[in-house]
Amino acid sequence: MEQSKSEVKDVYLVRYGALKSTEEEIITVSDLRDRAGRDKSYNKVENDQELSDKEFIEGFNKLNQQNLIALDHNEIKKPMIVIQWSEADLETNKAIPFGKANALMSQRIAVTGVESEKERGGYTPDGKTQYHLILPKEMDKDFNRMQVITMGRLDLGDGRYKSPYEQILNEKRDLSDEVKQALQQDINEYEKTNGQSNPVIGEKQQDKVDHFSSKEIDQNDEAAARKNQQARRMTHMAYMQQMER
């Protein structure tokens, strides 16, 4: 029974700070249990000794969601998003796979944008959201340490961004190609199973969103598009040759 309760060795503890700062440390679950029980700045998990490590961590994150999150960094193997807080109806203080979180937030952005169009004039978009991009420690070639990247506040529906992915690529341009590819891959995997992330986009935003978002076209459609483009190019060349004669 004791072994089943000691299933998590240590966690990556993130304390949310003012503005875009965070304090981070690696701490054993045993020490976290002890600290949460005696430190008044933590909300204590009741009957924590009866809980498995994973149950304790889940309870800890719910009770301390205003200030802290404990992440099982040894189990996080792909990019995640943690929504610290949001005016929209989004799950907070939980590590969500990047592709899924990107889709959920993109859909909320689209809905808010439609509402804004309907109420054009005195409408103020809601959905202010603060989130963090979590990169697994395997992506840190220097220190093998999980990375927490705090993003600027995303106002869902204000028209600036259509997805967190678009915001990340625009505001965090120093991310490595490996990270960018991992983000795109997770979006592709989610869309393959669940469908497109960005269902509604404005015509003026089309070019910008297309640059960042995965296409809603399968391989056959892409091949057909290339074939049509090549045919148009050949027709144009033939026309120009005829004009030169």
111-130 pLDDT, tens digit each: 886 665 556 555 555 689 99
Q: State the sign of the Cα–Cα–Cα–Cα dihedral 64, 68, 72, 77.
A: positive
Nearest to 86 by CA among 109, 117, 116: 109
Q: What is the pLDDT confidence band of residue 223, given thresholds at 50, 70 and 90?
A: low
CA–CA dist 62, 44 (Å, integer): 11
- Tell whether the model's pLDDT for residue 7 goes beyond 50: yes
Q: Which residue has the higher pLDDT, 198 or 239?
A: 198
| Strands 154-155 vs 80-86: parallel, antiparallel or unpaired | unpaired
Q: Which residue has the higher pLDDT, 201 or 167?
A: 167
Please report, for residues 12, 32, 145, 159, the alpha-carbon distance to residue 25 in angstroms, rounded to integers and kept in the order given: 6, 11, 10, 36
Q: Which residue has the higher pLDDT, 245 or 40?
A: 40
pLDDT in tens, 159-177: 899 999 999 999 999 999 9
pLDDT for position 244: 52
pLDDT for position 216: 39
DSSP H or E run through 104: helix 98-118
Q: Which residue has the higher pLDDT, 196 or 79?
A: 79
CA–CA dist 244, 20 (Å, integer): 62
